[in-house]
Copies of this chain bind each other. A is one copy, B any other.
Amino acid sequence: MHIQSVGIKDIQIPVRVLEKGGGLQNTVATISIQASMPGRRNDSCVEVFTSALNDSLGEISAASFSRILSQIQEKLQSKAARLEMTFPFFIEKKAPVSHTRSLMEYDCTFSGGIGEDEDFILTVRVPVTTLCPCSKEISSDGAHNQRAEVSLHVKFRNFVWIEDLIVIVEQSASCEVYALLKRPDEKFVTEKAFNNPMFVEDVVRKVAVSALAHPDITWFAASVESFESIHKHSAYAYIDSDEIR
């Protein structure tokens, strides 16, 4: 019987990720690797996976992804192999009014394969603010708002930068989120969110419009989870480009 995949999960290593500006950013990745398995193995797959990973420590690039996957495919004689790495990525943001600089952290994932499924998928998870249109409309003052998390997954023809996907998402919510805000900044983001009320489905729709217009994105899926401030549960919306086109 053909086993669809064997692999390892949750191994952490330090990596360096290329920034749009040309720099290399130091961060820490959590990695999973899977490979299809034709028959019964004789030796330890786990050793093959960790060896391949260990031989390619350091800068993570398209080249190192290919090298790791080829090495695994060859040693295990697999039809297919897949590697996924999730890491915090840091961007220096300027506060909207005071222009104070601070670092924001975004969870990102690279996922790539060799053999059957060779698609490379880039995922960014971006915290934003959502402010409820219904609450604003019916209330004499204020409107409930809260932190939400947008996940955007894309495939592309030419490489798309993490930084560009984050901009797409941050421009699609009631307001973006910062690590450091002075008083004039806090006034700005409060008023911006209030003047820009959005349900979770409004956010995914706006993300979708931008992603559809991007010349290099060939597929995407977007979801929003809003940690409602008036409930203990989350509101949620999801869209997949295959269902729209």
Contact = CB atoms under 8 A, between A and B. Distances in A.
The interface residues of chain A, by DSSP majority, are classed as: mixed
Contacts of A101: 54
A181 interface: yes
A28 B88 CA distance: 8
Contacts of A158: none
A104 interface: yes
A121 interface: no
Interface string A75-118: 00000000000001010000000001111110000000000000
Given A3-B201, A142-B194, A232-B127, A50 B179 contact: yes
B180 A50 contact: yes
A43 B132 CA distance: 11
Contacts of A144: 129, 145, 186, 189-190, 193
Interface in A113-141: 127, 129, 131-132, 134-136, 138-141
A154 interface: no
Contacts of A183: 43-44, 47, 134, 138
A69 interface: no
Contacts of A1: 205, 208-209, 239, 244
Contacts of A136: 142
A201 B144 CA distance: 21
Interface of A: 1-14, 25-28, 32, 34, 37, 40-41, 43-47, 50-51, 54, 57, 88, 90, 100-105, 127, 129, 131-132, 134-136, 138-147, 175, 177-183, 186-187, 189-191, 193-195, 199-201, 204-205, 208-209, 225, 227-240, 243-244
Across chains A and B, which 8 residue pairs bring their CB atoms closest together, nearest first?
A142-B194, A26-B26, A11-B233, A139-B190, A9-B234, A12-B105, A50-B180, A138-B187
